[in-house]
Structure 1
Amino acid sequence: MGLEYHVAKNGSDNGQGTKQDPFLTINRAASVAVAGDTIIVHEGEYREWVKPKHGGLSDRRRITYQAAEGEKVVIKGSEQIKDWELVEGSIWKVVLPNEFFGDYNPYKEELFGDWVVYNPGRHLGDVYLNGMSFYEAEELEQLKNPEVKTETYDHWTRTTVSVVNPEQTKYLWYAEVDEKNTTIYANFHDSNPNEELVEINVRKACFYPEETGLDYITVRGFEMAQAATPWTPPTADQPGLIGPHWSKGWIIEDNIIHDSKCSAISIGKEASTGQNFRTVRKDKPGYHYQIETVFAAQHAGWTKERVGSHIIRNNVIYDCGQNAIVGHLGCIFSEIYNNHIYNIGIKREFYGHEIAGIKLHAAIDVQIHNNRIHDCSLGTWLDWQIQGTRVSKNIYYRNSRDLFVEVTSGPFIFDHNIFTADYALDNHAQGGAYINNLIAGKMAHFKMLDRSTPYHVPHSTEIAGFAPVYGGDDRFFNNIFVGKEGIDRVGTAQFNGYTTSLDEYIEKVHEEEGDHEVFNKVEQPVYINQNAYFHGAEAFEREEVKLEDKQFNPEVEIIDKGKEVYLSIELPENFESFLGDIHETDTLERTRLSDAEFENPDGSDVILNTDLLGTQKEGKSVLGPIANLKAGKNMIKIWG
């Protein structure tokens, strides 16, 4: 048993840190706690950036930071501002000396970095009125005519469209920074900012070590908010509002995390392996710098023994500009589950190619399950080296897109999920297994022959080779596909023309002489059987056993009642008589390019026999994510 330190608002940093004589700041406790110790923080608001100084030594010898049981503890990256001066109408200003911000002034720091596509001068600062985040104006004059024009960016046409959001057109801020002062202007409309709670974010993070390699830390039970986090691409340092900063074995659980300018929880890389070189140097594509980042990380000790293996569970994460959870390389071997993620990337003050509820690169053997993800610009985006990754029993709804998997060769598994966005699945990958999902939206399928990306020795960070994405080498079993009016590409018909076995593929490839070029001409095998297709969804032309009724409309609906979520779906009379097999390692063909089996992270056989609600199936079962789906009308509680 280690020591127990206490922190309270009536304490002193000159105290002993006991319950009777507590410290005043969490950082004071962080400076003395060592492996095995526990820091208990008592009720109150702590405006500080907690920077752990020591780490634990093993999973059993952790340093634990936790809110006192039954007490509300809030850590904020902001400061309250009371000295506002009325300028004209409802526009107020405050003048702050630059020393107020130290060496990090969010109202001077612009959002910047690789893969930022649209940013009309946005900064990392923000203004909050009673907890509500404002929008940054591009010019001071806009505060007099407070219409917020945001940009939506079409990934495929590379065009931007200005949109006025009528529900969020009122609250704008604008800042000017000179050599001595930072002046912030804000339109508060009917509110007097000196009589309300007005805050501005001033710190980069709320709980994030400055040093790397501080392992085995648990952070539990806090509310954390209002941090001026920077843009976090995979080719740069990736600080979040909270995160382990290139360490191993953190547990982040039972927290409420919100209002991070960019990313909330980061389990990503650090600066030494690359820092926005595409944007700074401009001499090579970001793709090349990302490859160099992978090798630089290997030279720096990117292994299971040094980094990753984090647990992120039971958190509520919302109102962040870029990600709820982000990570490149440092996310390996982690588990992310039972989190409620929403309102990510929906302010649209800026746009880039790294925005999603969960955005991970190189998520080797990462397990993402039982999460509720909704009202995000993109629910989950898994990119590069998605090998041994499993996304299981998650609920997606009201997202612009639900799932994007990109430039990877597998093996990876998506099973027993509910996808309901009109744009349900972006498949720019190969080597996946899609089993027992409900997919009520389109699935876009693309090849990526111009970007060869790494694959690995199974369950390892060791690189085994590189491959482009040829398309195919995917497995679709026991899914329910549901079409929607005006939405095309729902179902598996886009694989028409693909081979259906490795033997057939090899035979076709060798019908003509050649080497690598002949592999570009033949479609990889796909393994598709025992799926259901309703309301216009179309089946793969060579699917032998399927349930198909293009006219039948299941009328899929997700009913959100706050703490509880329900699935409403109607199924045809013959639904219960059409059963699918349970799939496991032995029934899922190995991936062609990475030459690996579908397995659990420990190398044991995977058996996909547990449904979204935790029911274990003993044999053949109905299709889709829930084992007790019936013919006719179903109303099933899926969360809460």
Structure 2
Amino acid sequence: MTFEYHVNPRGNDFCIGTAEEPFRTISQAARVARPGDTVIVHEGVYREQVDPLFGGISEFERITYCGASGESRPIIKGSERIRSWKQVEGHPSVWSVTLDNSFFGEFNPFDSVIAGDWLEKPKKGIDPDKHLGDVYLNGRSFYEVESLEQTYEPQERFEIEDFAIKLKHSIDDPLQTLYVWYAEVDHVENVTRIWANFQGADPNEELVEISVRRSCFFPSRNHIDFITVRGFEMAQATGDWAPPTSPQYGMVGPNWAYGWIIEDNVLHDVKFSAVSLGKESASGNNEWMRTERKSGYQYQLEAVFKARRLGWKKDVVGSHIVRNNDIYHCGQNAIVGHMGCAFSKIEHNHIHHIASKQEFFGWEVAGIKFHAAIDTVIQNNYIHDCSLGMWMDWQTQGTRITRNIMRNNVRDAMIEVSHGPYLVDNNIFASDCMFQNWSQGGAFVNNIICGGIEVNTVPDRSTPYHFAHSTEVAGCAVVSGGDERWLNNVFAPQRSKPYIGEFGLSTYADCPTRFEEYLDNLHAMWADPSQGGGERNPLQPVYAGGNVFMGQAEAGSESELGEYKSRTSHDMPYFGGGTVENVVVSDSMAIAVVDTDDGVFLDIDVPHSLKQITVPCVTSEMLGMPRIVEERYESYDGKPYVLNVDLLGNSIEGGSPRSPGALELSAENEQRIKVWEWN
């Protein structure tokens, strides 16, 4: 027998939870809801942290939390409204409030320092501390400053330097930089004092809130499975810095469970991460920072094996769906996850303005940041105005990144210390930096690429790879560079010079184009006795064909443009054994991704030279296997790939040729194509 519970801000938690006698809080419903039950939450603001006591038991008996049909979204906030501000004498724009520490309960974000593994700013022991708390005026977040004096006359800033690549770019909202706060926590008097510059606004008349809760909807226990969270707005939780060696808190998330669906929500203004599909605490909690006994790399490697002992495997942890959400104004990530993100689907989310403020920074910041995204599908998302759009780190295996649109990110994508097989296909990468590659074993097929590409080797970190469609570790390897497939892409730079890497594939110019050449280099290294008995890792082959290099894009080397008949059975089947040449054309192609009320459009000026080119549809058989992992490129369910569907879902009949790039181009010259629907 299943029940339908109702929650309404005008209800009472001593009621029975019917539509006529609703609960007052979602938390009360979360204490009584059992498998198969539905919790309908009516419009209004709920200031609470929902900690569901029970989960569902199967896909067919899940617990669903949803907004009421026909009403505005219910809003869950991690903040409390403050109306007891006092004006600071001599500084009319600055106000202060004193709160008893008991107001915060067990968690005071203004007394909690931002800290953890791989945090670079603020640097431990060097930079002044920053804190998890925040202040909001009518929904706009403030900046933390380092002293009370700095609240008096803040200076408007128009430019910021991206910490990762030291590139300066415009601040999205320069006026926001004038709104600042500072706090002190007195443990003798047991109070927290907050000062904030409201730039002439009266904080007791306007909506002023301060963050007080770490999450909005997040179980305190692991393995609360099969929950659906649908149709909410959530905002102003803190979260916490979420490296892969810590318990990864999010404003909403399953906390190491199975089979959640997070859909049709608006998630914004969280200090760190909006959605966490991440790691629990038993496999590690920032030991590198806390003990410095071992490196962060070593602790992360150990976390993989500890998690295996804790039950990290398919059908126990992961297999979540995150779809149709609008996620923005997050300090670290829209979606984060280590291991708990495996076997999941991330689809049709609008992710934007992530890490725009850069009050803090570390090597975990991106719109989507996953470690060990085994068999995870990331498809049809629109990602823009982020420090880094997407970062796949460690164990990117069986992962498919397809039909996504990226624009105006400082960097679109990065894949690190992974060995494949993974597939990146039918995407539009419209930012000036497309890809930083610290991995091997990837296949990049039928993409439109506007930005530069940078390639790196990683000889000092040996990271795991797995048996196919499993979390069971098959081995570890370093990244030698190469062992990649670049097929049927259109390289269309929009600027004269890249600010990272190179346009086209010239960054791979030193890589061999066939396996026999790789073996010759390997044998030569072994013949050199001065290198001792250690491993030899020459650059691996890069297989490129069917690509179109336009304008400033370069193919790399002359051999990349011509014959591949010298390849042997050691090489991949490669277009069924045939030869498909790359093409260099002098024409450029103007591209712009444009937001309108009716959707997202691609403005593109297709030259005649591109319209005339066709290429074969790529299949799993053509892609072969990456050298290290020795597993084929295939779908998460083990079915072979047949890449005969473009970004818009247009299908190419049978084995017919298709256009290079992400779109089947039916016309040439200037055109506007709708490429994404708003949620």
- 2:570 maps to which residue? none
State whether residues 135 and 148 of structure 1, in contact with CA within 8 Å, keep that contact through their aligned partners in structure 2. Answer: no
Contact 2:258–2:320, Cα closer than 8 Å, also in 1: yes
Which residue does 1:41 correspond to in 2? 41
For 1:32 and 1:511, how far apart are their aligned partners in 2?
A: 69
* 8 Å CA contact retained: 2:486, 2:544: yes
Q: Which structure 1 residue ranges, 5 or more long, are not aligned?
A: none
Is 1:123 equivalent to 2:131 in the alignment? yes
2: CA distance, partners of 1:223 / 1:163 = 26
Deviation at 1:557, TM superposition (A): 1.3
Shift of the alpha carbon at 1:165?
7.5
Distance 1:606 1:364 in 2: 17
Q: Return the offset for 1:421.
A: 1.5
Residues 128, 200 of structure 1: 8 Å contact kept: yes
Query: Which residue type is aligned with residue 547 of structure 1?
Result: V
Are 1:628 and 2:665 counterparts?
Answer: yes
Matched position secondary structure for 1:195: coil
Superimposed CA distance per residue, residues 594-624 of structure 1 (whole angstroms, 9 cap, x where no aligned partner): 1110011111111111111111112211111
How far apart are 1:160 and its partner, in Å? 11
Match of 2:298, SS?
helix
Deviation of 1:229 (Å): 1.0
In the TM superposition, what is the alpha-carbon distance from 1:151 to its structure 2 partner? 6.5
Aligned to 2:632: 597
Which one-letter code corresponds to 1:281 in the other structure?
T
Q: Which residue of 1 aligns with 2:32?
A: 32
Match of residue 383, structure 2, among 373, 376, 381: 373
Alignment-mate amino acid for residue 91 of structure 1: V
Alignment check: 8 A CA contact 1:152 1:163 kept: no
* Counterpart AA for 2:240: P
Distance 1:573-1:273 versus aligned 2 partners, 3 A rule: same
* 8 Å contact kept, 1:391–1:415: yes
Shift of 1:553: 2.2
RMSD: 2.0
Tell me the residue number matched to 2:148: 140
Structure 2 residues without counterparts, runs of 5 or longer = 123-127, 563-580
CA contact 1:148–1:164 (8 Å) conserved in 2: no
Cα distance in 2 for partners of 1:572, 1:161 equals: 31
Distance 1:453 1:39, change over 3 A: same
- Residues in 1 aligned to 2:185 and 2:598: alpha-carbon distance in whole angstroms: 43
**8 A Cα contact 1:154 1:160, kept in partner:** no
How far 1:299 moved relative to its partner? 1.1
Question: What is the alpha-carbon distance in structure 1 between the residues aligned to residue 281 and residue 532 of structure 2?
Answer: 37
1:157-196 to 2 correspondence within 5 Å? Answer: 166-179=174-187, 180-196=190-206
Alpha-carbon distance between aligned partners in 2 of 1:348 and 1:206, rounded to the nearest angstrom: 23
Partner Cα separation in structure 1 for residue 101 and residue 403 of structure 2: 49
Aligned partner letter, 1:582: C
The secondary structure found in structure 2 opposite 1:168 is: helix
Q: CA deviation at 1:262?
A: 0.2
Aligned equivalents of 2:295, 2:675: Cα separation in 1: 43
Note if 1:433 corresponds to 2:466.
Answer: no
1:98 alignment counterpart = 101
Q: Please tell me the residue identity of whatever aligns with 1:93.
A: S
Give, in angstroms, the shift of residue 576 of structure 1: 2.0
* Corresponding residue for residue 56 of structure 1: 56
1:246 corresponds to: 256
1:387 to 387, 397, 403: 397
User: Which residue of structure 1 aligns with residue 5 of structure 2?
Assistant: 5
Counterpart amino acid of residue 634 in structure 1: Q
Given that 1:118 and 1:351 are in contact with CA atoms closer than 8 Å, whether structure 2 keeps it comes out as yes
Q: Is the deviation greater in 338-347 or in 518-527? A: 518-527
Find the aligned partners of 1:228 and 1:336 in 2 and give their Cα distance. 23
Question: What are the residue-to-residue correspondences of 1:78-89 with 2, within 5 Å?
Answer: 78-87=79-88, 88-89=91-92
Counterpart-to-counterpart distance in 2, 1:535 and 1:606: 31
Equivalence for 2:556 = 540
- Mapped partners of 2:131, 2:168: distance in 1: 20
Contact 1:264–1:317 under 8 Å retained in 2: yes
- Offset of 1:513 from its aligned partner? 4.2
AA of the residue aligned to 1:631: E
Partner of 1:530: 546
- Alignment check: 8 A CA contact 1:33 1:54 kept: yes
Measure how far apart 1:163 and its partner are. Answer: 9.0
Alpha-carbon displacement from aligned partner over 1:58-86 (angstroms, at most 9, x marks no partner): 01110000010122210001001111111
Give 1:520 shift. 3.5
Q: What does 1:161-240 correspond to in 2, within 5 Å?
A: 166-179=174-187, 180-240=190-250
Structure 2: distance between partners of 1:549 and 1:28: 64
Q: Which among 485, 505, 511 is matched to residue 496 of structure 2?
A: 485
Aligned length, in residue pairs? 638
- Where 2:412 maps in the other structure, the secondary structure is strand
The one-letter code sitting in structure 1 at the alignment partner of 2:130 is R
Deviates most, 603-612 or 212-221: 603-612
C-alpha separation in 2, matches of 1:274 and 1:457: 24
The offset of 1:9, in angstroms, is 1.4
Judge conservation of contact 1:575–1:630 (CA < 8 Å) in 2. Answer: no
Sort the Cα spacing of 1:535 and 1:499 in 2 relative to 1 into closer, same or farther, 3 A. same
8 Å Cα contact 1:509-1:519 kept in structure 2: no
Q: 2:651: which partner in 1?
A: 616
Whichever structure has more strand as a proportion of its residues is: 1
Q: Is the 8 A contact 1:153 1:351 kept in 2?
A: no
Query: Contact conserved, 1:528 with 1:540, CA < 8 A, in 2?
Result: no
3-state DSSP of counterpart to 1:169: helix
Alignment deviations for residues 309-363 of structure 1 (CA, whole Å, 9 cap, x no partner): 0000000000000000000011110000010000100101011110000000000
